[in-house]
Amino acid sequence: MSPPTMEDVARAAGVSRALVSLVMRQAPNVSDERRARVIAAAEELGYRPNAVARSLASRRTHTIGVLLNDLHNPFFADSADGIIEEASSAGYQVLMATGTHVNQSHTAAIESFLNARVDGIILVGPRFTPEQISDMASHVPVLTLGSSSDGHGVDSVKNDEYRGACLAVEHLAGLGHTRITHVSGGRGAGADSRRQGYARAMADLGLADHVDVVVGDFTEESGAEAADELLKRAELPTAVFSANDIQAAGLMGRLAEAGIGVPEMVSVVGYDDTTFAGLYQLSLTTIHQPVAEMGRQSVRSLLDRMVGGRTEPRKLVIEPSLVVRRSTAPPR
């Protein structure tokens, strides 16, 4: 009735339970003959090792918990993809949760990760306080993807937002733009650095007087609203550096509705190089970060701590790059 256990396999093969256990874990010190017998018996019975029991006994679940903001943003979807791929090829499973923007559901998700005794946690996006993070890190290795963070047992993988913002501004300035407005990402992960990078680059290029920030967030609507805001003004900027691609799309859409051509009237640069930035119809110049690869790196870094025994924190910073498409051009 109930699925066969090691006991059953052992009996069928005429050996002890321990031997079956050794064979299942591919231990080296087992005679070929017995190994074959065990494998045959297991096959015969349709034996399937019970990972739950194994976890309880070995105190390792081979599972990592991944908490994302939401899956709609391709940025998150892509990192999830990288994470899952690398995890599974390392023999780990992924427990996935999304916080529905409500911090409470975030903490509930963490709670359930800890109850499930995951071997590690990857946080992508959600804003936790340093206390919350070090609290979870006291139970299990934690890594934040997309934002940096300090603390014992906490690693991070992110791109150099600051540098990315500089690339964007330098590109626009190089085309001859001076009135470059930034639509910010508000309180979202990485938003601060992008804004600071913008301000710093503007200053370095002697454009400090033209620094102009419209507050937004990482959504399409906020891009549209920012466009409305700009359209109210006496004079449009000649270029906009948007905090991310989705926002840029919203902004460009609203501008188009108002009859403002991109890049003829206004150049637009995004951030993230998400899938749709490359669509012919958008063809958005943007800052690329290798998201899937960063997801893979996250898993490797976590594994390195979980099984490799590393203990000092590691902060990985990836270099972003500029991808020029058709949404930018010299000012008229």
Partner DNA sequence: GTGAAAGCGCTAACAT
Partner DNA sequence: ATGTTAGCGCTTTCAC
Contact residues toward a second copy (CB under 8 A) are: 3, 48-53, 55-56, 61, 63, 70-72, 74, 77-78, 80-81, 84-85, 88, 93-98, 100, 105, 108-109, 112, 114-117, 139, 220, 249, 252-254, 256-257, 275-276, 279-282
H or E element at residue 294: helix 291-306
With beta carbons less than 8 A apart as the criterion, state whether 95 and 126 touch: no
Q: For a second copy, which is the closer residue by CB, 16 or 100?
A: 100
Answer with the entry of DNA, a second copy, none that 19 interacts with (C-beta below 5 to 8 A by kind): DNA
Q: For DNA, which is the closer residue by CB, 54 or 200?
A: 54
Question: How many CB atoms lie under 10 A from the CB of residue 165?
Answer: 28
With beta carbons less than 8 A apart as the criterion, state whether 266 and 237 touch: yes
Q: For a second copy, which is the closer residue by CB, 172 or 251?
A: 251
d(CA 135, CA 148): 16
Q: What angle do CA 186, 190, 191 make, to 5 degrees?
A: 25
Q: For DNA, which is the closer residue by CB, 34 or 315?
A: 34
Residues that bind DNA (CB under 7 A): 2-3, 5-7, 14-19, 21-22, 24-25, 29-31, 33-35, 47, 49-50, 53-54, 56-59
With beta carbons less than 8 A apart as the criterion, state whether 297 and 316 touch: yes
DSSP E strands, 160-238: 180-183, 213-214
The pair of three-digit structure tokens given for residue 302, joined into one six-digit string: 């976590």
Supply the minimum distance, in Å, between the C-beta of residue 71 and a second copy: 4
Q: For a second copy, which is the closer residue by CB, 64 or 169?
A: 64
With beta carbons less than 8 A apart as the criterion, state whether 102 and 74 touch: no
Supply the minimum distance, in Å, between the C-beta of residue 301 and DNA: 23
Answer with the entry of a second copy, DNA, none that 30 interacts with (C-beta below 5 to 8 A by kind): DNA
